Structure 1
Amino acid sequence: MFSLPSDDFKLDTTQFSISENPFKSHNGKIIGNIELIKLKALGTRMDKPEEKPKSFIQKTGNTVNFNTRERVILNNLLFSSGDIVDPLIIADNERILRELPYIKDARIYLKPREDNPEIVDVEIITKDVLALSFDIEARDFDSGVLRVNHKNIFGSGHEIDNRFSVDHSSDQRYSYQIRYRVPNIKRSFISFEANYANTVNQDFSSVKLQREFISPKIKFAGGIEFTNQRLRFTELSNIISDEEYDFQTINQRYDYQDFWLARAFPLNLKDPIRNERTRLIVSGRISNIKFTLRPEVDTELNQPFHNRTLAIGSVGISQRRYFKDQLIFGYGRTEDIPYGYQIELLGGYEWAEFGHRYFLGGKAGRGGYMGNLGYFLGGFSLESFLKNQVFEQGVFKADFRFFSSLIDLNRWKFRQFINVNYTYGIDRFSNEYIDIRDGNGIRGLKSNTLRGTQRFLINIETVSFTPFEAADFKLAVFGFYDLGMVNNGKKSIFSEKAQSGIGLGFRIRNDNLTFKAIEIRLAYYPDAPVGIPMTDLSLSGNSGFNFSDFLITRPSPSIFR
């Protein structure tokens, strides 16, 4: 059913290809020397690596930026000199390099030696980004937030994220939060992350070690996490309308531990490529949370604050391949889009202070190109806890996502994006709900009343990547239409009055920077609830969409949101 677009379809990208295709002709050859060409962030081009920065701004920006060290790139390789060329492994490695937060783009070239064509030397070209970013938020004359993030400290690949807050009207005037991350410890692809926060509403510390199945070559994945947190937050209660509701302050403190391990097995399929890309994955996990401060609890009261231990396992099949394209979520860099499928069955048992229960679930997804139309991704999941032979706290989800092939109209390039989601909560607890407000459904709509346990959403967006740019800042114009319905699940979702939002805006992005795209958006809501403005003008950062890559990871109940 899924295939790549035909050759006569007008795609405006030189990068569109199956990821392993450029390396197939060298399959089985021996890898010789490995040469790295590391390009600075500004004023350099992947297709012309010999070009040097020219302007004063480019040279100055590159001077203050730490270029990635050679050993950091080498630590992220899946192959070494003397190995046999496997086109799929080389393609995986090109993608892994591009996914590094401090790398804008990466290409790998295999070059046969003239004296011995059975040996290929490897040329790896990477282009850095300006790894330092900051964000300032002035809330009042005597309060504000400064966030400083560096994705590549001294070129080491380590990441640090600092957040400083000042609020002279608060009980705690100065607050600080920090996250430190090492993405790959000594070529093991094990990441380390530490978090600390000390604010008026939160004391938080955690450490985490984790390894994912970043490539089918990886046999084992797993993770360990320890967390201690004190948290105070305010939630709405007794909501009558968007103008009439109460506030409820909740204080909690808890300790949390999480351990999981997974093993991938080949399936010995007849097709060599499918056999290489398909894995049977078996995983197990145990997590524990114990509260030392919480609201009043009972059997049917404040269930999220119950002490509990969950043991859960899964077995699934995952097939992942990738194609390369441009102008999907980025503004010109090479992007790796997955195609394949995932099937997973889950089961577990939870020990809780007010009764034990089973957990059952399953999920499936499939995605890829369908002829010349574009990329389709569909998936569903069904899961629930089972207590005293009654299903509770379950959820059914169905998702459909689509983006069209790139349409070239002179120098203007267009894509169409469509997302459809249906979510149904199965006997959720009284304080659990989903909504269709901004961030979860209709962009910019800030209503508190549009929530329940059943939801249907459609998000449609047309994007034009314009030819306008200045100093590597590129402009995209978009129009959108969002439609959503939500209720308590006791009747058909389509019997509900639909809420909608329609609007337009533009995004400005420089792929050489780690900043989010700057988005300015104007929206109109024809049927906004009473007390909610019918228009919204917003300026914000936009990190773009992302698609599932059919990765089976830590087994877990879905988050109901």
Structure 2
Amino acid sequence: MSYRNTIYSILLTVLTLCQYPNWAFGQEKPVSDTFFLAKKKGILGKIGKSISVSGDIPITADSGVLKNEESFAVFKGKTIRHIFIQKPGFNGTVNDTSKFFNNFFNDIGNRLHPNTSDKIIKKNLFFKESDTLYPALVADNERFLRDISYLQDAKILVRQNDEFIDQVDVIVVCKDVFPVGGSADLGSAKTLNFEINDDNLVGTGDRVALANLIDLDRTPKYGLSAQYLKRNIKGSFIDLSIVYSNINPAFNSGRRDETVIYIKADLPLVSPYRKWTGSYETALRFTSNRYLNDSVFESDFKYRYRVFDGWLGYNIGAKKHLSNAEINKRLKYLLSIRGIYRRYESIPKYYQTNYSSDYSNLATVLSALTVFEQNYYHTNYIYGFGRNEDVPEGFSMSLIGGWTNRNDISRPYLGFDYQRNYFTRKKNYLNYILRFGGYYGNQRLEDLSFLTAIETFTRLRKLGNSKWLIRHFLSGSLTEQINTRLNDPLRLSSIYGIPDFNNVNSKISFRATANCESVFYNTWKFVGFNFAPFGFANLSYLKESGIPIVKGDLYTALGIGVRTRNENLVFGTMELRASYYPRTINNMPVWNITFNTALQYKYNSSLVKRPDFVTVN
């Protein structure tokens, strides 16, 4: 178990401890002081009152989901006269900027954390003054702002201009999180790993991070990792990331003996009405013997390779839709091409005569034609704790083709990727995936991969007259590989299997998985934190190649846990999870207790991806 404590975030947790839920959602309810210091006089009383307030978050279970662009539709076609930036401050909320409860600690919090400058916020807008207002474009921009990691939440308001009936004013309301954080991982009595980072460097939107490792069993005993991320260079929406690390976990052992030098430039498709998307990355990765004797290291773990990976996509007709006022036509066509080059300069001696796809050289050119249509709806209580969350509705269909050379074996590749997601009339959400692909070699189809998956989460419901809400998450998948030659076998430890399980040491060609999870959300805060207990069950059935379908093996996992998050702080949702495995393999313990702070807390809403092979693990 690892224990991670956010350095500056702990300070802000003490300083803000944190939010007054009654002002946060515009509810003027009497304060309920339950903390013993709240009854004290003087400074102790002020401290107690500021950290003991608990209140209700409004329940939106019956209001369902709202289409993002609906609130802007009445202003379609009008001219944007002025753009104003409004920040509710550390103790405010984007949903109601008129109500604040200033207190001793919130004042300190406002002074300590830097606000993102108005210039940076405007640089992240898709429109400017004197532009025509298109509801879908403004809605896309609102979603994009909410996805920025150093903003807790964002909302765009449009108001009729008092002087001119054909003009409007736009107010961009955005709330920063406290960006400075850190972590510490005491892995053992001989190991300490700690990091400090700033996700919004002096209000510029850039990120810097420095990680340090002290390991008494390692040579040398100290190592470091440094990252600099420059976001949205000159308003181009291009992000540039530079990383150096000599403490990276090696992919073949997990030990921190890999050195990586990494540069990546990324241009996401921030809106369906942008013309270009793509990325380029180059990296050098190699292991150094920091833990073992030379013979074992040379035989099993030494590697060095370089990788170049770039892709470019063109959104056909993106500008035409805007200029011809076809903004409501959400069907788009993306033409993309990708090149990959990976070259191993050294590999472990054992694998010089025994093939493993992990150490294979690769040269690939892939192209894809993608047809996609996407709208966004905002709701809450999916990964967040009452904050605005954007969920996509639409479809994406890609035909991928190209040529690949893996370990001097050249073959053409053809693949298909389809994804459909939508809300039902009962406001349940469904996401369906269908993928298949394969190669042609030795005068036959080979390395064929097939995956179909479905996931759903139910409508948010209130438990009686309590302050609790419940949502159920269900998913299932079927995966199969045929005529395997160079591909890796299917894994049990996979997002389409049971991720926390050790892998089965066999050639698995078929996998069926079912998962369910019930999450209980509270609508009150305890010293600034929301809590969400949950229970889960996972089931995965594996079958080796060449045996009957009924001769496979069944693996299960059962468990409970709790997640918590303070929406004011930059670090992610924290999760304490206890898992029970009725059947174990490879000396796994029956019980596993983990504490994780790297959880996703925003719904992955991207339907557009780079051309790629079918991903089944």
Structure-2-length-normalised TM-score: 0.81
Task: Tell me whether 1:441 sits opposite 2:491 in the alignment.
Answer: no
Q: CA deviation at 1:165?
A: 0.3
Q: Which amino acid in structure 2 is aligned with residue 293 of structure 1? A: S
Please give the residue correspondences for 1:86-235 in structure 2 after superposition, counting only pairs within 5 Å: 86-199=134-247, 201-231=257-287
Pick one of 432, 437, 444 that aligns with 1:390: 444
Residue 450 to residue 528, structure 1, CA distance change in 2 (3 Å): farther
Q: Which residue of 2 aligns with 1:521?
A: 577
Residue 139 to residue 173, structure 1, CA distance change in 2 (3 Å): same
Distance in 1 separating the partners of 2:596 and 2:266: 31
Residue 320 to residue 54, structure 1, CA distance change in 2 (3 Å): same
Q: Which residue of 1 aligns with 2:336?
A: 283
Please give the residue correspondences for 1:4-83 in structure 2 after superposition, counting only pairs within 5 Å: 11-12=60-61, 16-40=65-89, 42-52=90-100, 54-83=102-131
Distance in 2 separating the partners of 1:381 and 1:46: 40
* Contact 1:318–1:550 under 8 Å retained in 2: no
* Contact 1:424–1:455 under 8 Å retained in 2: yes
Distance in 2 separating the partners of 1:489 and 1:546: 38
- SS of corresponding position for 1:414: strand
Q: Which residue of 2 aligns with 1:241?
A: none
Q: CA deviation at 1:447?
A: 6.1
Distance in 2 separating the partners of 1:307 and 1:216: 35
* Contact 1:31–1:82 under 8 Å retained in 2: yes
Q: Which residue of 1 aligns with 2:4?
A: none
Q: CA deviation at 1:56?
A: 3.0
Q: Which residue of 1 aligns with 2:418?
A: 364
Q: Which residue of 1 aligns with 2:403?
A: 349
Q: Which amino acid in structure 2 is aligned with residue 358 of structure 1? A: P
Q: Which residue of 1 aligns with 2:24?
A: none
TM-align CA RMSD: 2.8
> Deviation string for 1:121-175 (max 9, x for gaps)?
0011001111122111112333210022221111110112321101122112111
Distance in 1 separating the partners of 2:412 and 2:194: 45
Task: Tell me whether 1:378 sits opposite 2:429 in the alignment.
Answer: no
Distance in 2 separating the partners of 1:512 and 1:277: 34
* Contact 2:65–2:427 under 8 Å retained in 1: no
Q: CA deviation at 1:86?
A: 0.2
Pick one of 255, 261, 279 that aligns with 2:312: 261
Unaligned stretches of 5+ residues in structure 1 = 1-9, 235-246
Distance in 2 separating the partners of 1:259 and 1:512: 36
Distance in 2 separating the partners of 1:353 and 1:494: 35
Counting aligned pairs with the same residue, the percent is 24
Q: Which amino acid in structure 2 is aligned with residue 223 of structure 1? A: S
Residue 493 to residue 125, structure 1, CA distance change in 2 (3 Å): farther
Distance in 1 separating the partners of 2:326 and 2:438: 36
Pick one of 459, 469, 476 that aligns with 2:525: 469
Greater shift, 136-145 or 51-60, is seen at 51-60
Q: CA deviation at 1:385?
A: 2.5
Q: Which residue of 2 aligns with 1:316?
A: 370
Greater shift, 58-67 or 171-180, is seen at 58-67
Residue 113 to residue 494, structure 1, CA distance change in 2 (3 Å): farther
Residue 266 to residue 300, structure 1, CA distance change in 2 (3 Å): farther
- SS of corresponding position for 1:453: strand
Distance in 2 separating the partners of 1:59 and 1:15: 35
* Contact 1:53–1:59 under 8 Å retained in 2: no
Please give the residue correspondences for 1:331-350 in structure 2 after superposition, counting only pairs within 5 Å: 331-350=385-404
Distance in 1 separating the partners of 2:560 and 2:76: 48
* Contact 1:142–1:167 under 8 Å retained in 2: yes
Residue 274 to residue 122, structure 1, CA distance change in 2 (3 Å): closer
Distance in 2 separating the partners of 1:299 and 1:171: 30
Q: CA deviation at 1:15?
A: 7.9
Q: Which residue of 2 aligns with 1:401?
A: 455
Pick one of 546, 556, 561 that aligns with 1:505: 561
Distance in 1 separating the partners of 2:309 and 2:567: 36
Q: CA deviation at 1:487?
A: 2.5
Q: Which amino acid in structure 1 is aligned with residue 281 of structure 2? A: E
Q: Which amino acid in structure 1 is aligned with residue 411 of structure 2? A: R
- SS of corresponding position for 2:302: strand
Residue 468 to residue 492, structure 1, CA distance change in 2 (3 Å): farther
Q: Which residue of 1 aligns with 2:18?
A: none
Greater shift, 461-470 or 326-335, is seen at 461-470
> Deviation string for 1:16-41 (max 9, x for gaps)?
3100000000001110100000233x
- SS of corresponding position for 1:533: coil
Distance in 1 separating the partners of 2:270 and 2:550: 40
Q: Which amino acid in structure 2 is aligned with residue 479 of structure 1? A: G
* Contact 1:207–1:226 under 8 Å retained in 2: yes
- SS of corresponding position for 2:145: helix
> Deviation string for 1:169-206 (max 9, x for gaps)?
21121111122212211111111111111236112111
- SS of corresponding position for 2:234: coil
Distance in 2 separating the partners of 1:339 and 1:72: 29
Greater shift, 454-463 or 295-304, is seen at 295-304
- SS of corresponding position for 2:120: helix
* Contact 2:574–2:599 under 8 Å retained in 1: no
* Contact 2:227–2:243 under 8 Å retained in 1: yes
Q: Which amino acid in structure 2 is aligned with residue 256 of structure 1? A: V
Distance in 2 separating the partners of 1:18 and 1:525: 42
> Deviation string for 1:451-478 (max 9, x for gaps)?
7332221110011101342222001111
- Structure with the higher strand share, 1 or 2: 1
Q: Which amino acid in structure 1 is aligned with residue 489 of structure 2? A: Y
Distance in 2 separating the partners of 1:390 and 1:478: 48
Q: Which amino acid in structure 1 is aligned with residue 329 of structure 2? A: E
Distance in 2 separating the partners of 1:306 and 1:526: 36
> Deviation string for 1:100-139 (max 9, x for gaps)?
0001111111100122221100011001111122111112
Q: Which amino acid in structure 2 is aligned with residue 121 of structure 1? A: D
Distance in 1 separating the partners of 2:494 and 2:365: 34
Distance in 1 separating the partners of 2:239 and 2:564: 32
- SS of corresponding position for 2:421: strand
Distance in 2 separating the partners of 1:350 and 1:471: 55
Residue 498 to residue 355, structure 1, CA distance change in 2 (3 Å): closer
Q: Which residue of 2 aligns with 1:249?
A: 300
Q: CA deviation at 1:299?
A: 9.2
Greater shift, 325-334 or 284-293, is seen at 284-293
Q: CA deviation at 1:209?
A: 1.2
Residue 431 to residue 261, structure 1, CA distance change in 2 (3 Å): closer
Greater shift, 405-414 or 526-535, is seen at 526-535
- SS of corresponding position for 2:210: strand
